[in-house]
């Protein structure tokens, strides 16, 4: 992936994490107010705090949502030149080859399926994890860096009329597996 994308991706993640911290602080403040308020009129004075504390999602959900919208747009542009994709398997193969190359810079390393609507896509040097140092202590932090790509994959599948749940797993960096559960 290109250097500007890496910077943009890191900034989006930083912003999402910061927003989640603000939301958690507002929630804590709200819980403190509730403990000390005597009536509904007093609680209504804190409407802005309620909005800040409860109407925003966590960082990973927000990143996944952004990725979903991006994936829908990208698959529309990338699939224009492709032959008509009819079957579910054709769509998954398209995602793993043409789409993956255009979006993540290379083809996937492995695709597996149980032929019951579950696919596992493996990328041994996933683009958003390449800059991570190797070691188990960094695996937990990788979740934020996979939320946007999961959304992109789910959005691309949606653009191909396939509803799916996409979840990542990381056992060792920079490898990533994306589990795609088709929703029939």
Q: How many domains does the chain have?
A: 2
pLDDT digits (tens, 9 = 90+) for 89-137: 999 999 999 999 999 999 999 999 998 999 999 999 999 898 888 877 8
State the greatest distance between any 2 C-alpha atoms of the chain, in Å, as a whole number. Answer: 66
Residue 134 belongs to a domain with what CATH number?
3.30.1380.20
**Distance between CA atoms of 139 and 174, rounded to whole angstroms?**
9
Do 50 and 63 sit in the same domain of this protein? no
Do 49 and 74 sit in the same domain of this protein? no
pLDDT for 38: 62
As beta bridge partners, residue 178 has 121, 168
**Using an 8 Å Cβ cutoff, are 111 and 93 in contact?**
yes
Q: Which domain holds residue 30?
A: 3-54
105 versus 24: which is more confidently predicted? 105
Collapsing DSSP to helix, strand or coil, 122 comes out as strand
Q: Would residue 69 be called left, alpha or beta, if left means φ above 0 and alpha means ψ between -120 and 50 degrees?
A: alpha
């Amino acid at each position: 992936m290109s250097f500007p994308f890496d910077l943009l991706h890191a900034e989006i993640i930083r912003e999402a994490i910061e927003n989640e911290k603000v939301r958690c602080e507002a929630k804590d403040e709200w819980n403190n107010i509730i403990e000390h308020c005597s009536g509904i009129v007093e609680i209504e004075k804190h409407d802005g705090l309620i909005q800040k504390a409860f109407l925003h999602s966590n960082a990973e959900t927000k990143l996944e949502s952004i990725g979903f919208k991006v994936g829908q747009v990208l698959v529309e542009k990338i699939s224009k030149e492709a032959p008509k994709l009819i079957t579910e398997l054709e769509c998954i193969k398209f995602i793993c080859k043409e789409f993956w190359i255009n979006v993540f810079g290379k083809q996937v390393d492995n695709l597996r399926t149980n032929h019951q609507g579950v696919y596992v896509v493996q990328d041994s040097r996933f683009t958003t994890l390449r800059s991570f140092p190797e070691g188990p202590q960094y695996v937990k932090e990788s979740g934020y860096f996979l939320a946007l790509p999961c959304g992109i994959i789910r959005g691309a599948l949606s653009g191909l009329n396939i509803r799916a749940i996409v979840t990542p797993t990381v056992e060792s960096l920079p490898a990533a597996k994306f589990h795609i559960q088709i929703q029939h």
